[in-house]
Amino acid sequence: MEQAHTDLIVAPSSDPVKACDTCHGTLGAQHQESLHATLAGYKETIRVRSGQATLSLELEKMFEAKCAKCHTSCGQCHVTRPVSVSGGFNAGHNFYKRPNMTLNCTACHGSRVGSEFTGQNAGISADVHYNKGFQCVACHSTEELHTAEPGATSRYDNSLAPACEDCHQVSSNAYHAVHKNKLSCQVCHSQEYKNCYNCHVGKVESGITQPSELGFKIGKNPLKSAERPWDYVTLRHIPISPDSYDEWEPNALVNFAALPTWKFTTPHNIKKNTPQAANCTSSCHNNPAVFLTQDDLQNMSAEEQAANQGVIVDKIPD
């Protein structure tokens, strides 16, 4: 065994231009610019909350030690499971054009997207598309997954990202006509989803220090744009707190309130009929329970309350 693996190149696709593009055109080069490769979304979020022009040496060390393992290569999608979930061949040395939804896609994106899509959250049914046999690539194209817009710092910064309207014609539906640019599709058609809190990134031990919670919250759109014109969207709480990185750099997140901790989200648990869409006058309208309000922030730190002022709903629709 030892002789067979002498001088083994452990990760040939770490240089995808050399290893992959001799056969696959420019896909390897494109992948190097994608968020799967750069993790620019994670790094930019940390940078903004730190208030630094570029990450300090200590935060760079933290990122490389604790965050960079979520980077993935061509091989970690098409040959092996991702390193972030301990690696290992999918099926020997076989290459697969389409990544395995379980061993690859939701191996990384499993705690939220995977659990929602396949109905693993207690009491919440699987996504209607999963029940109809759809896999990730039914919505997410090769081009989207291998590329990123210049300067992209979020997976939503991609003109190739899927939209419900790519398949669904909504113009003939009276409810859609009324709410067209006011609500994202998920506001009416998502179920409860997982929200996480208080991630501690230590030098030895790291992890989320508070159990996740299933919940559903509608709030103001923090990513409003021509592609995302809606006033109200679903929001998911992310596991960050003002002291998350203190073991690496004390009080690093001096600009914590620059970004909300309740973030724009597109839950993968779509259903035609949901509790909040049961009727017009009480399940959503006049129902503060489904909206993110100041009351939901009362037990949070002052920094976190300040961070979410731009996404809370001041007046419940009647």
Per-range mean pLDDT, top range of 83-97, 106-120, 176-190, 245-259: 245-259
pLDDT at 2: 63
Looking at the structure, tell me whether residues 180 and 302 fall in a common domain.
Answer: yes
258 touches 266 (CB < 8 A): no
223 pLDDT above the threshold of 80: yes
Q: In the structure, what pLDDT confidence band is assigned to residue 114 with cuts at 50, 70 and 90?
A: very high
Token readout for 264 is 């724009």
Long-range contact set of residues 224-230: C-beta below 8 Å, sequence gap at least 24: 227/156, 227/159, 227/161, 228/156, 228/184, 228/264, 229/181, 230/181, 230/182, 230/183, 230/184, 230/187
Looking at the structure, tell me whether residues 184 and 40 fall in a common domain.
Answer: no
Q: Write out the residue range of the structural domain in which residue 252 sits.
A: 168-318
Mean per-residue pLDDT, 27-54: 94
pLDDT at 1: 52
What is the percent of the chain where pLDDT is above 70?
A: 99
212 three-class SS: strand
Residue 171 buriedness (CB in 10 A; 0-12 / 13-18 / 19+): exposed
What's the domain count of the chain? 2
| Distance, first Cα to last Cα, the chain | 70
36 pLDDT above the threshold of 70: yes
**Angle (nearest 5°) at CA 65 between 61 and 68:** 105
Looking at the structure, tell me whether residues 133 and 172 fall in a common domain.
Answer: no
Mean per-residue pLDDT, 177-204: 93
Q: Which residue, among 116, 255, 140, has the nearest Cα to 195 in the 3D structure? A: 116
> If you average pLDDT over every residue of the chain, what do you get?
93
84 pLDDT above the threshold of 90: no
Looking at the structure, tell me whether residues 176 and 291 fall in a common domain.
Answer: yes
Q: Which of 137, 162, 187 is the last residue of a domain?
A: 162
Looking at the structure, tell me whether residues 180 and 152 fall in a common domain.
Answer: no
Q: Is 313 part of any domain?
A: yes
32 pLDDT above the threshold of 80: yes
150 pLDDT above the threshold of 90: no
pLDDT at 302: 97
126 touches 190 (CB < 8 A): no
* Residue the block writes with tokens 């669904």: 168
Chain centroid to Cα 113, Å, comes to: 8
Mean per-residue pLDDT, 163-190: 88
User: What does the DSSP 8-state code read for residue 255?
Assistant: T
Mean per-residue pLDDT, 262-281: 94
Looking at the structure, tell me whether residues 102 and 246 fall in a common domain.
Answer: no
278 touches 285 (CB < 8 A): no
Q: Tell me which amino acid residue 142 is.
A: T
Token readout for 78 is 């098409």
Q: In the structure, what pLDDT confidence band is assigned to residue 43 with cuts at 50, 70 and 90?
A: very high
